[in-house]
Amino acid sequence: MSVPAKGKTLPKMGKVLPTNRRRLSTGYASTVAEALTIELSGSNRAIKTVMRWTGASERTAKGWLAGTNGPSGEHLIALLGNSDTLLGRILKLAGRGSVIEAAHLQVLRNTMAEAVASLDVLLVEGGNVRQTAQPLLDDGEAPG
């Protein structure tokens, strides 16, 4: 019986083969690149903006924008502090998209409350006073 050449056999212990971490991180890197491109609107100053936000080198910023590499540690935190789009994408990637959706709902609710208050002011100024608690249509009233 001959001995197999080194490196040509499977490991004897364990049940899971090691995976290539580089291959798994491409989704992360492409997500970061897509979010930064959206946030910076593909501007010609995108690289310099990312460099200013993070203190990273030009080569590093180009890698992030191209999607070949993703930021880690302090650079990621700096980017998340400056980019709402990236924050949303990273939370969704981590399975926590509901956190950002709840924040958007709160902003939408506040915007709608401001719009209703503005409409109330316009209705009072126009002489057509309507209580804000009353529905715009009565139960028996048909729209239009």
Residue 43 lies in a domain: yes
Task: Name the 3-class secondary structure at 9.
Answer: coil
Q: Where are the alpha helices (H) located in 6-136, listed in sequence order?
A: 21-24, 26-39, 46-54, 58-66, 73-82, 84-93, 97-125
What's this model's pTM, rounded to 2 decimal places?
Answer: 0.56
pLDDT at 4 over 90: no
List, for residues 52-107, the tens digit of each pLDDT value: 999 999 999 999 999 999 998 999 999 999 998 899 889 888 888 787 778 788 88
Residue 27 lies in a domain: yes
| DSSP state at residue 14 | -
Give the pLDDT of residue 134.
56
| DSSP state at residue 137 | S
Residue 137 lies in a domain: no
CATH of the domain at 62: 1.10.260
List, for residues 98-140, the tens digit of each pLDDT value: 877 787 888 899 999 999 999 988 888 876 555 555 555 555 5
Q: How many CB atoms lie within 10 A of CB 37?
A: 16
